[in-house]
Structure 1
């Protein structure tokens, strides 16, 4: 199922060559879909028609917030469980929500099956309530939330906008005309939600124009977001797929090594060196912010699901149902990246406690590992489009599995900062 497994079976390369090809190609497909997203982003963001909700769904299925107790009293690990059928889903459609980017608008582009939208997450030892937009907005009244990371972070925010649309549409209050930053306000609740585009989380730039090689400064904060978040009440950090590509690593402004760069006299560092250093720098940056009193969520690595080849050699994701937990397991670079995130999170959390800061683990990795059916695959564009496009098994359809991220998030907010395992 996974990248590494496919390459070992289909090629005659060594393990080192296998990992290299797999990781570079995983990165490139993310870059391709990120670039094409940028091309349509300004149209998505600034049309005056987007402020009008012509398809608001009825409220009969929404219950007042007071009637929703938290599962935290049951001391339940909400991230350990299975996907079970949910015939009532989805709670919005691609025709009722304008916030869906083209490449995640699977139903618009002809996906024939709909069952992938009709599942919910069932923890083994308790129930996880379906996201209640009224309750969420009441909790967020007068507060702010920032989504910080790559295009999956933006995917998450768009999912939340759609889920909240049954109550209210936000107003675009971005102070710059730039896809790398978007800010929305829910006027009735004085709630602000923002997205900061920072795929490497730390300072990074292309080695040269039109390059897939990035210079990544592992010990330097990315000031485009770290200087902006201290006013936010909640910050959700994510990062993953962009670290699978070619990079030159800098520390103290000096080259310390590279990943898949083929530069002479430069030490080749393994896949995980830069990833660990990056999260250490990010968490250090947050813990060092003056006057920051917000809570930081780490949303963990989201696996891709290419099968039958790699992304540009026929790889696809055509499954129509979730895996059961006994049908697959986290392995290879997915397992290692998740492990690194957990280790660095624990270190940051301990330091944060000393400063009175909250760090909470939004551990979505296992739930998303079980959803090979939820990606756009080829249903992010018209099949007769006259250009070379590839299957997308990295991002997620909307409506789709990542709507569960808001279920998790709301439950954690109701736990009032209790550890992810309660």
Structure 2
């Protein structure tokens, strides 16, 4: 589902008007204004800057505090010798809509950029190591099709070590289960694009403009019915929140988004985004039988240029932006800050209540805002299918989405010292050539 282009709201800014001073000496006014601006900047930074530095990794061989490295802060570097972890020939499922090479994408450099943290190196993904770390566990991706994009990437990345077996109990591709029997590991995808309950008042006449009911304080049964049997959860959600909704809390309408109805408050997408994550995190913390590890994978930006998805917009770039050229800003930054702020609140509450649930941040947004070259665009379907919109939301496979799973492995390894994951001894296993 593509975001509604009308709802790309800017970040609210404060009014910069100043009261006329009583003293008009220029040498006095300038320091006062400067001091006021510094105080304003300090307050803003105090509220938000720490959100970007929640997770650190220490380079191999160093353990001192001053050598810690934020693996999520860095830049993309070109590596002409870099090999992909899989191809479209690998024995795993790559959704045609993200299988860019199958439908003739002419450039291949988008697969040769690797993520370089500012103060360390991000290790390459090791499928055997990942499977040892999660041996005997059940890991679930809960969210939308971009979350499923990451899940499919992970299945393909693991296929070099062990055959993934599809044990899904339904033909619905939005709900998938893969088993790796030799590791007693299960990988699950649960479709819940808004994390909370929804209802379409007109299911037989569904369109992009249909107004759905969104119950902001009621978690979606699709995932709450499963979580007591899951060890590791990865939550993600984003683009679906931009469509029209009627918002409910405690069974009553509290507002709407793009409903154009009189006497109903028009609430921003940020309010619904905040409340959905608040409900999800609260549900986890209050659940009696979930004591596992939960990640928030942060907002995944889309990159439409030259227009919106339905009026000429596309994503034709063949190389990443530099971090000087492209940063999170506008509505994308606001979406990021909204979900991360709810994460921080929940994490603090969990620690205060001594809950066994561990909340961690998989902070991919800064890296992905630079990857306008990594989307399928028109290479997610046959050229004869000229009615399809360009896809500048999902990610080509293989492509930059694989980096998310490099991050994930490093995050899981960080938990070992806290006793959550007990790794089995490394074994010498002959790798399967499944490409």
> Does the Cα contact within 8 Å between 2:92 and 2:155 map onto a contact in 1?
no
**Distance in 2 separating the partners of 1:188 and 1:383:** 41
SS in 1 for 2:233: strand
In structure 2, the residue matched to 1:144 is 138
**Distance in 2 separating the partners of 1:344 and 1:111:** 39
Matched ranges for 1:113-124 at <5 A: 113-124=107-118
* 4+ long deviations beyond 6 Å: 70-73
**Distance in 2 separating the partners of 1:406 and 1:196:** 18
In structure 2, the residue matched to 1:342 is 340
In structure 2, the residue matched to 1:175 is 169
Matched ranges for 1:4-403 at <5 A: 21-23=6-8, 69=60, 74-86=67-79, 87-209=81-203, 210-211=206-207, 212-353=210-351, 354-385=354-385, 388-403=387-402
**Distance in 2 separating the partners of 1:344 and 1:417:** 26
SS in 2 for 1:395: coil
Aligned residues: 359
SS in 2 for 1:411: helix
**Distance in 2 separating the partners of 1:297 and 1:247:** 27
SS in 2 for 1:188: helix
Q: How big is each residue's C-alpha offset from its partner over 1:299-331, in whole Å with a ceiling of 9 and x where there is no partner?
A: 000000000111111100000011111011111
**Distance in 2 separating the partners of 1:122 and 1:375:** 20
Q: 1:245 to 1:384 in 2, by over 3 A?
A: same
In structure 1, the residue matched to 2:403 is 404
SS in 2 for 1:203: strand
Deviation at 1:201, TM superposition (A): 0.5
Gaps of 5+ in 2: 10-58, 419-435
SS in 2 for 1:235: strand
**Distance in 1 separating the partners of 2:169 and 2:94:** 22
Compare CA radii of gyration and give the structure with the larger one.
2
Q: 1:113 to 1:72 in 2, by over 3 A?
A: farther
SS in 2 for 1:406: helix
Q: How big is each residue's C-alpha offset from its partner over 1:338-385, in whole Å with a ceiling of 9 and x where there is no partner?
A: 001111001111122221221000000000001000000000111122
Deviation at 1:256, TM superposition (A): 0.6
Q: How big is each residue's C-alpha offset from its partner over 1:188-225, in whole Å with a ceiling of 9 and x where there is no partner?
A: 10001100000111001223121432110000011111
Q: How big is each residue's C-alpha offset from its partner over 1:81-113, in whole Å with a ceiling of 9 and x where there is no partner?
A: 000122222121111243110100100101000
**Distance in 2 separating the partners of 1:282 and 1:356:** 16
**Distance in 2 separating the partners of 1:99 and 1:71:** 39
SS in 2 for 1:415: helix
Q: 1:71 to 1:91 in 2, by over 3 A?
A: farther
Q: 1:349 to 1:115 in 2, by over 3 A?
A: same
Q: 1:105 to 1:180 in 2, by over 3 A?
A: closer
> Does the Cα contact within 8 Å between 2:92 and 2:164 map onto a contact in 1?
no
TM-score (norm 1): 0.81
- State the Cα RMSD in Å: 2.1
Q: 1:70 to 1:383 in 2, by over 3 A?
A: farther
Q: How big is each residue's C-alpha offset from its partner over 1:369-418, in whole Å with a ceiling of 9 and x where there is no partner?
A: 01000000000111122x51111000000000000001100011111178
Gaps of 5+ in 1: 5-18, 25-67
Q: 1:174 to 1:307 in 2, by over 3 A?
A: same
SS in 2 for 1:272: helix
SS in 1 for 2:415: coil
> Does the Cα contact within 8 Å between 1:161 and 1:169 map onto a contact in 2?
no
Deviation at 1:265, TM superposition (A): 1.9
**Distance in 1 separating the partners of 2:416 and 2:211:** 39
Deviates more, 1:203-212 or 1:77-86: 203-212
**Distance in 1 separating the partners of 2:269 and 2:62:** 38
Deviates more, 1:351-360 or 1:106-115: 351-360
**Distance in 2 separating the partners of 1:98 and 1:161:** 7
Q: 1:22 to 1:313 in 2, by over 3 A?
A: farther
